[in-house]
Each structure stands twice: as C-alpha cells, then as structure tokens.
Amino acid sequence: MLGLMQDWPLLLYKIIDHAAQQFGDREVVTRSIEGPIHRTNYREVRDRALRVAQRLEKDGIKLGDRVATLAWNTWRHLEAWYGITGVGAVYHTVNPRLFPEQIAWIVNHAQDRAMLLDLTFVPLMEAVQDKCPSIERYVILTDKAHMPATKLKNAIAYEEWIAEVDGDFAWKDFDENTAAGLCYTSGTTGDPKGVLYSHRSNVLHALQGCMKDTLSVSAQDSILPIVPMFHANAWSLAFSVPLAGAKFVLPGAKLDGASVYELLETEGVTLSAAVPTVWLMLMQHMQANKVELHTLNRVVIGGSACPPSMIEFFEERGVTVNHAWGMTEMSPIGTIGAIKPQLAALKGKDLMAIKAKQGHAIFAVEMKITDDENNRLPWDGVKFGRLKVKGPAIARRYFKREDEEILDEEGFFDTGDVATIDPNGYMQITDRAKDVIKSGGEWISSIDLENLAVGHPDVAEAAVIGVVHPKWDERPLLVIVPKEGKEIDRDAMLKFMDGKIAKWWMPDDVQFVREIPHTATGKINKLKLREEFKDYKLPSA
C-alpha cells in the first residue's frame, strides 16, 4: 500500500521560489569581479534566474544538456545555477585552477553546449576554445560597459543576454532524479571523473546543511561561503543558504586574508566555510595587522585536515569550529564535528581531541571501515581501515562510465581514505590510502605529523611524504615552509615534535622549501611533492 501524500518532486527551483516568497528582501551581497560591492536580494535573483532559463531555452538548451560555468562565487553565478537547472539542464562547474588541457578534456567529456564565464577567465578560454568545439556560445558574466573585445565564439555580456527575454517564464517540470549538476574530481591519478548530482540529491543534501548540528545554516545568519562553487558543489551552500533564508555574502575573486576579513566585518558575517589554506591566509592577516573578529561565531573547515592550532586560533576568539569531511562524490558532506550531548562536558585538551577528528556522519550517510578483504572493523577509535560510505547523495556511478562498478556488494562507495571510528561515532582520517607511509609493515599517518608540525609557531605550512628506505620500505620526510622572515633549525624542529608522537613515527629528515605545491582544490599535492623529492636520499638510508 502506498502513502497518500502529495507528489511534490524535490526540484532545485523550489528552493529559490521559497527564498523569493518567504525571504524576498533578504540580501545577496557580492564583491563583484568588476570591483564594487553589489547588492541584490532573493526576489531579484529568482526573477533573473527565470530569465536565464528562458534565455537558455531560446538558445535551444533543453533537458539534460550541459552548460558550463567557469566562475567565482557571485550573484550571477548563483542565478545561473538556478536558471540552468530550471530548464532541466545541468550546470557543469569547471575549476579554473585546472591546467588548460584538463579544462578542454572535461569540457569535451561533458560535451558542454554553452559556457558562462567570469571576466577573469576570458583569456584562459580564448587560448583553449579551439579545443572545445561543443561550446556554441560564451556568455561573459558582466554588463555591456565592462564587456571586453574578445574572440570567444558568439560572445555576449550576460546582462545583455538575459535582457533579450522578458522573464515571463515557468520552470520546467521533470522527475526529481533528473541530473542537475556535474563536477569532475581533480583526478590526481588517471582521467578526471564526473560526479553527476540530481535535483533530489542536491535538495536532500541542502536540507541537511540547515540542521543545527550539520552546517547550522539559519535565517538568522549572514553566511560567507568562501569555498568556491567550482569546488565540490560549494559544500551545498548555494542551496542551503537560500533554503534557510540567510543573508548571502559572496567573495567574488578575492580570497586573500585582507579581502575576506573586510567582508566578514562589513557584512556582519556569522558563519563561513573554507579549506584550511584560505583560513591560514585570514589568520596571517589578522596576526600581522592585529585585528579581531566581531560578528563571526561559527566556521566550517574541511577539504583537508584542519590542524588543532587552527581550531584553537578560532575558538580562543569565541568562534566555534566545525571540522567537516567529505568529497565531491558525496555532494560533498559526510561528517561534521558537532559535539554530541554525551561529550558536552569535555574541556581543554579532551575537547580538542574530539574537535580535531573529522566528526560524526550526518543523516543519510552510512559509514563503515573495513580491512582489505572488506571485513568490517570495530568502532574502537584505534583500528583503522578503508572508509566506505552509502547514502542518497553519494555517487553510484561516474558520468559516461556507467558500466564501471564503483560500489561494493553492500552498496558502499570506497572513499580512498583510511580512518578510525571511535565508540561515539567520530571518524578520524588517518590518511588518504595513497599517502599513508608504510614503514616496516606498519602505517604512519602523514596528517598527524603535519598537524603537529604546523603547531610550531614559525611554520607556515607542512607536508609529510614517504621516501624510499632500504630497510623500512618507506620513512617519513617532513617538508616545511617557514613563516615569512623566520628561520627554523632542523634539529630544533625534530625536538619540538619529540615526545608528542611514537618514536618510530619521527620524520627521518626535514627539508625547508619556499612553497609546497597544491592541487586545483587547494590540497597539498603529494604526487607532485613526491616527484620533486624523487632523487632525495634520506640520511638514514
């Protein structure tokens, strides 16, 4: 027997409709690419998203077609997502930090029919457009006054493009399982893989973000998502924030410490989300200029491990840190570090030990850790194994690789991460399976060593890689970027770590560099780093 409730498909336009109707005047503020701060609201965003939808239809874009966006977080990019999905087409977020050849590769794989791009990226696309024949038109996210002279095919300014229709348009209706968004994983090994979100998965995930113990997005908040819309579905914030009716603050192209600090303060931001490298820039700015935060009270930090020293920096200033873990394949949030009631009395070091973990699974994410034979391991906080996940907003197949099985016999997806889960359900990432250091048959967590090293007051960034050792197979090498104007002594560094980790985890050597390579999503690029140190010989070898 079926229930007798209404059929109300979980489609993304319902979110912007709700925001416009219930929170129509709520502000959407952007540091525009052209320069000035731009202000609009949800009513206008919806009106203009309808024009985008109508205009796309006029260009022949229909259900299932892919439309690329190559853009920063701005109100126009937000309108574009709702407009594209409102005709049943698919927004394909292109990460501008990819190499031009990779951009051409994913555009061709996706067969994007149009591309909406920021002024910043016009030269980039002019250089690769010949390799992207599927794109019929480039819409530049600006107005006529700022439109550059460009050789991009059928180029038009976004404002002129949407002015060609009257906005008298109704969203299309289709099944909630229809594809909505496409995001390629950065593919540090092999070709990039396309994760294809549906309307249903995005709406379900957006609802999660509005739970107090998940991202805690609320109508009372002013929210600055620094995590770009081209990185892992912007952690769902492009949907959760309007869904809740919060004030939306968008950073545009400027993610440096000074620009982020200014927006946090002038727009009364209460909640923000970004990867550790971005927070590092903010922290350095605040320390150098001796300035403090006045309205911010929560931050979500994820994408790579958040070091305890970063958590302390914020919490000392009254800002609660929610450490989160997830991946593109998971829409992307899997766990969040909100404190469960049974741990509420913890203080000091004990509380920090929980906060440094990646957190407990949110609703609709099932987790397990297994050994290599897929036997489940206990949740004792000690045994670590492969982390596998299951849920309605987690990938089942990759785009155009539908014949490739990516789930185990129980329907779980292997995240490629190695983790422990404690009796309270808190998961802690030990490493990515490919980055863990295998020393004499035992595993050493590069993340733990990095977290410890960045706790040193003169260290700006640290990375640990395994290097070949004749006796132990691999031993850890610590690579450090000192803070501007600081010099660190190798032995002093090792002494700083001594006693805080097991003896056999101690790095065999320390190397100082000016820069550590990063991936397109802001993570330490271990592959590249290993390459850079491929001829390096450990003194112990």
Residues near ligand ADP (CB under 6 A): 185-186, 232, 302-306, 323-328, 332, 358, 415-417, 429, 432, 519, 521, 523
**Residues contacting 366, CB < 8 A, separation 6+:** 389, 390, 391, 412
The CB-side HSE value for 108 (13 A sphere, CA atoms) comes to 14
Cβ at position 150, least distance to ligand ADP in Å: 30
Cβ at position 432, least distance to ligand ADP in Å: 5
Residue with smaller CB distance to ligand ADP, 261 or 313? 313
CA 116/CA 283 separation, integer angstroms: 33
299 within 8 A of 321, measured Cβ to Cβ: yes
Of 438, 486, 500, 537, the catalytic one is: 438
283 within 8 A of 460, measured Cβ to Cβ: no
329 is catalytic: yes
Cβ at position 281, least distance to ligand ADP in Å: 18
CA 353/CA 355 separation, integer angstroms: 6
Residue with smaller CB distance to ligand ADP, 162 or 324? 324
DSSP β-bridge partners for residue 298? 271, 320
CA 504/CA 456 separation, integer angstroms: 20
Residue with smaller CB distance to ligand ADP, 228 or 242? 228
**Residue 117: which H helix or E strand, with range?**
strand 114-117
Give the position of tokens 């109707």.
21
164 is catalytic: no
- 495: its two tokens: 């002494």
CA 366/CA 345 separation, integer angstroms: 27
472 is catalytic: no
Of 277, 443, 528, 532, the catalytic one is: 443
CA 75/CA 69 separation, integer angstroms: 13
Residue with smaller CB distance to ligand ADP, 19 or 463? 463
Residue with smaller CB distance to ligand ADP, 66 or 323? 323
Residue with smaller CB distance to ligand ADP, 45 or 232? 232
CA 157/CA 148 separation, integer angstroms: 9
DSSP β-bridge partners for residue 480? 462, 512
475 within 8 A of 537, measured Cβ to Cβ: no
Cβ at position 419, least distance to ligand ADP in Å: 9
Cβ at position 173, least distance to ligand ADP in Å: 31
Cβ at position 274, least distance to ligand ADP in Å: 12
443 is catalytic: yes
CA 27/CA 45 separation, integer angstroms: 10
Residue with smaller CB distance to ligand ADP, 198 or 446? 446
CA 260/CA 162 separation, integer angstroms: 30
Cβ at position 167, least distance to ligand ADP in Å: 36
3-state secondary structure of 265: helix
Cite the active site residues: 185, 329, 438, 443
